[in-house]
Amino acid sequence: MSDTTFMGVPRDKIPWFPTIDYDKCNFCMECDTFCPHCVFERRDGDRKLVVANPNNCVVFCRACSKTCGPDALSFPDKPEIIALIKQVREQESAK
Protein backbone atom coordinates (compact mmCIF):
# COMPACT_ATOMS: atom_id res chain seq x y z
CA MET A 1 0.00 0.00 0.00
CA SER A 2 1.28 3.42 -0.94
CA ASP A 3 1.39 6.40 1.40
CA THR A 4 -0.95 8.17 -0.99
CA THR A 5 -3.75 5.59 -0.85
CA PHE A 6 -5.99 4.07 1.79
CA MET A 7 -7.69 0.75 1.04
CA GLY A 8 -6.81 1.33 -2.62
CA VAL A 9 -8.44 4.76 -2.72
CA PRO A 10 -6.37 7.89 -3.39
CA ARG A 11 -5.96 9.65 -0.05
CA ASP A 12 -6.98 13.00 -1.50
CA LYS A 13 -10.45 11.53 -2.25
CA ILE A 14 -11.05 10.69 1.42
CA PRO A 15 -12.14 13.74 3.44
CA TRP A 16 -10.88 12.48 6.80
CA PHE A 17 -9.21 15.21 8.84
CA PRO A 18 -10.09 17.28 11.89
CA THR A 19 -12.11 20.46 11.90
CA ILE A 20 -11.21 23.04 14.53
CA ASP A 21 -14.03 24.84 16.35
CA TYR A 22 -12.33 28.14 17.14
CA ASP A 23 -15.16 29.10 19.52
CA LYS A 24 -14.06 26.22 21.75
CA CYS A 25 -10.30 26.16 21.04
CA ASN A 26 -8.17 27.64 23.80
CA PHE A 27 -4.99 27.48 21.67
CA CYS A 28 -3.20 25.11 24.04
CA MET A 29 -1.62 23.39 20.99
CA GLU A 30 -1.82 19.94 22.62
CA CYS A 31 -3.19 18.45 19.39
CA ASP A 32 -0.31 19.88 17.36
CA THR A 33 2.25 18.71 19.91
CA PHE A 34 0.70 15.24 19.94
CA CYS A 35 0.23 14.63 16.20
CA PRO A 36 3.34 13.05 14.60
CA HIS A 37 1.94 13.49 11.07
CA CYS A 38 2.21 17.29 10.79
CA VAL A 39 -1.51 17.72 10.13
CA PHE A 40 -1.60 21.01 12.02
CA GLU A 41 0.42 24.15 11.50
CA ARG A 42 0.95 27.20 13.62
CA ARG A 43 0.92 30.29 11.46
CA ASP A 44 3.63 32.88 12.09
CA GLY A 45 2.30 35.99 13.75
CA ASP A 46 -1.01 34.31 14.54
CA ARG A 47 -1.70 32.12 17.52
CA LYS A 48 -4.31 30.27 15.49
CA LEU A 49 -3.71 26.65 14.62
CA VAL A 50 -4.85 25.42 11.21
CA VAL A 51 -5.27 22.05 9.51
CA ALA A 52 -2.54 22.70 6.94
CA ASN A 53 -1.94 19.13 5.74
CA PRO A 54 -5.29 17.31 5.84
CA ASN A 55 -4.08 14.39 3.71
CA ASN A 56 -1.40 13.63 6.31
CA CYS A 57 -4.14 12.69 8.77
CA VAL A 58 -4.34 8.92 9.23
CA VAL A 59 -7.78 7.79 8.08
CA PHE A 60 -9.97 6.90 11.08
CA CYS A 61 -7.44 8.19 13.63
CA ARG A 62 -8.96 10.55 16.18
CA ALA A 63 -6.17 10.51 18.74
CA CYS A 64 -5.50 14.26 18.59
CA SER A 65 -9.09 14.95 19.58
CA LYS A 66 -8.57 12.96 22.77
CA THR A 67 -5.80 15.40 23.78
CA CYS A 68 -8.14 18.36 23.31
CA GLY A 69 -9.50 19.45 26.69
CA PRO A 70 -12.11 21.87 25.33
CA ASP A 71 -13.29 19.30 22.74
CA ALA A 72 -12.61 21.70 19.86
CA LEU A 73 -11.74 19.04 17.26
CA SER A 74 -14.30 17.07 15.30
CA PHE A 75 -14.08 14.49 12.54
CA PRO A 76 -16.42 13.35 9.79
CA ASP A 77 -18.91 10.57 10.42
CA LYS A 78 -17.00 7.27 10.12
CA PRO A 79 -19.85 5.28 8.46
CA GLU A 80 -20.17 8.00 5.81
CA ILE A 81 -16.44 7.82 5.06
CA ILE A 82 -16.60 4.02 4.85
CA ALA A 83 -19.48 4.30 2.38
CA LEU A 84 -17.53 6.85 0.34
CA ILE A 85 -14.46 4.59 0.22
CA LYS A 86 -16.61 1.68 -0.98
CA GLN A 87 -18.22 3.89 -3.62
CA VAL A 88 -14.88 5.13 -4.95
CA ARG A 89 -13.50 1.57 -5.03
CA GLU A 90 -16.54 0.38 -6.98
CA GLN A 91 -16.17 3.24 -9.44
CA GLU A 92 -12.47 2.51 -9.90
CA SER A 93 -13.05 -1.21 -10.44
CA ALA A 94 -15.79 -0.48 -13.02
CA LYS A 95 -13.28 1.39 -15.21
Q: Per the domain annotation, does 39 fall within a domain?
A: yes
Mark residue 24 as left, alpha or beta (left: phi above 0; alpha: psi -120 to 50; beta: remaining): alpha
Q: Per the domain annotation, does 62 fall within a domain?
A: yes
According to the model, what pLDDT value does residue 1 have? Answer: 37
Residue range 23-43: mean pLDDT, rounded? 93
Question: Looking at residue 43, which CATH number applies to its domain?
Answer: 3.30.70.20
Q: Enter the pTM of the model.
A: 0.87
Q: Per the domain annotation, does 6 fall within a domain?
A: no
Residue range 6-31: mean pLDDT, rounded? 94
Q: Specify burial of residue 69 (Cβ count, 10 A radius: 0-12, 13-18, 19+).
A: exposed
According to the model, what pLDDT value does residue 33 have? Answer: 94
Q: Per the domain annotation, does 38 fall within a domain?
A: yes
Domain encompassing residue 46: 16-94
pLDDT in tens, 62-79: 999 999 999 999 999 999
According to the model, what pLDDT value does residue 45 have? Answer: 75
Give me the percent of the chain exceeding a pLDDT of 90. Answer: 78
Q: Per the domain annotation, does 66 fall within a domain?
A: yes
Query: What are the backbone dihedrals phi and psi of residue 4, each rounded to the nearest 5 degrees, phi first?
Result: -100, 10
Q: Number of structural domains, the chain?
A: 1
Q: Per the domain annotation, does 1 fall within a domain?
A: no
Q: For the chain, what is the mean pLDDT? A: 91
Are 26 and 32 in contact, with CB atoms under 8 Å apart? Answer: no
